[in-house]
Structure 1
Amino acid sequence: MRFVRYGAVGQEQPAVLDADGELRDLSGVVPDLAGGVLADLPRINPQSLPRVPGNPRIGPPVGRVGKLVCIGLNYSDHAAELGVDPPDDPVVFLKATSAIGGPNDPVIMPRGAQKVDWEVELGIVIGQRAKYVTEAQAPRQVAGYTIVNDVSERALQLERSGQWTKGKSCDSFAPMGPWLVTPDEVGDVHALDLSVDVNDARMQSGNTDRMVFTVPAIVSYLSELMTLHPGDVIATGTPPGVGMGHRPPRFLKEGDEMVLKISGLGEQRVTVRAEG
């Protein structure tokens, strides 16, 4: 099934997509797509639910995200474009949850930003509490998958002292969604195409079959470091074609439009704005 949250920022309501791609209101069944609801997502005939009228804003598909954990350099071809070897151990960093926005909300470049970059990533949404789970157990901890754009300001990330978090956590730097898709509908999570177009030009392209660390390996590894809770989201790394990997580098500017796609997970369409 494909779950959605719609409505104004901070007032999103749960919904599900029907076979025609129309929104069906789920608020009479669950209060939100958050917390314990993710451990037992409703299995319901969308046609039995009321249609959502109009064309509302689509919000992030998960509410009250506790942690947004990111894996760096997790595609072998992305590591190659940056001239580094794939890591022996997952590269882990955190991205502030205040960066999360809807899939079509604008990305706001902070004051002085010069090197804002795109990164399409498969997002894992945790549905069950996970601590010290094995790779065999890990798939049972997953509620579903979504798209995460790990927007990055490369000067803050790489040219200023400190950790990557500072270049990753600016407001609006984590567009998420549009959908939370259950694993049964996704199918083989390691055979998904990913892409980013900027102003209709293909910039980034790849497939999840090039992941260095698989989804079960990532969930298992992180569960050894921290307890994963329902609603936590893991961004699993990005394929080649990021702006800083182009020759010469190509970074975002005000007015640019990013279109991100992952097979079966929908599309993000994001306009870049400068902070006022």
Structure 2
Amino acid sequence: MEEFPLELSSQVEKGRYANLPRPLDGHERAFILGYEECATDYTIDRNDFPFWTLEFVVGGHGYYRDGAQMQELTFGGVYTYGPGVMQYFGNDRSRPFRKYFIVRSGREYPELWREAGLAPGRLFHLGNPTSVVPIFDQLLDQGQRSDAHTSKIVSSLEEVLIALIARHLGLSKGDRSRSRKVYELSLEILLREYKSLHTLADLAERSGYTSEYLCRVFKKYHGESPYQVLLHRKMSAAWLLLHDGQLQVGAVGRELGYEDPLHFSRVFRKVMGCAPSSVMSNQTEPA
């Protein structure tokens, strides 16, 4: 096996990567994992890429060419590309992308991805992207450990990740009824304005629908209450801020509307399963 080096792109301002040994026996598995914060001029325009790659946008706003159509690319967008697949996407200068990616070995499009409903060159938006973020972070954490268990753990986590993507791809499809439109409108407001939303009543006021009705449509299309989705969105954003390491726990809490750091820590632990301080401390551990 050989290491495949990954150099930081000139269009990326900050990145975190894990390089696993690349198998030479034809075995297909992930061998490069990454998280990138893109520059204002980030643009990809190419007709080919040597390896099958999956990207997931966790922040920012931009565009993606899906066949002959240009589509909006926002939080929750997931797409794959590789050999012989045209790639044309980029971010708005005022809202650069933050995104994760997985690069896989093997000449054929990964069957794991195909079975989940993904297709090369196609853009999908997940119905509930917040639950996917911690799995990507765990992939990076485990991928950087480089011991005898790393490849097996990374493969298992990728299966969990793709299963979640398959579940939430299903939530993003379906009917175009009034209730579906209310759900999509309210979810868009929630994902865009989550920092200033504190209660279900806040979302009801901004969407123009009652709390009771929002609970019904979210339960139908999302499987969770609007407030649970809001908490997951806030805590996923908190996870990224803590990983960044620029803000202390109290400052991260205030950024997301929690004036009491103890209350923020309790909510974070309940939703994410660990203390905020543990996410920060992991950033200082050697890979």
TM class, shorter-length: under 0.3
Q: Which has the larger radius of gyration?
A: 2
Normalising to structure 2: TM-score of the pair? 0.27
Higher relative contact order, chain-length normalized (CA < 8 Å, sep 6+): 1
Q: Which has the higher strand share?
A: 1
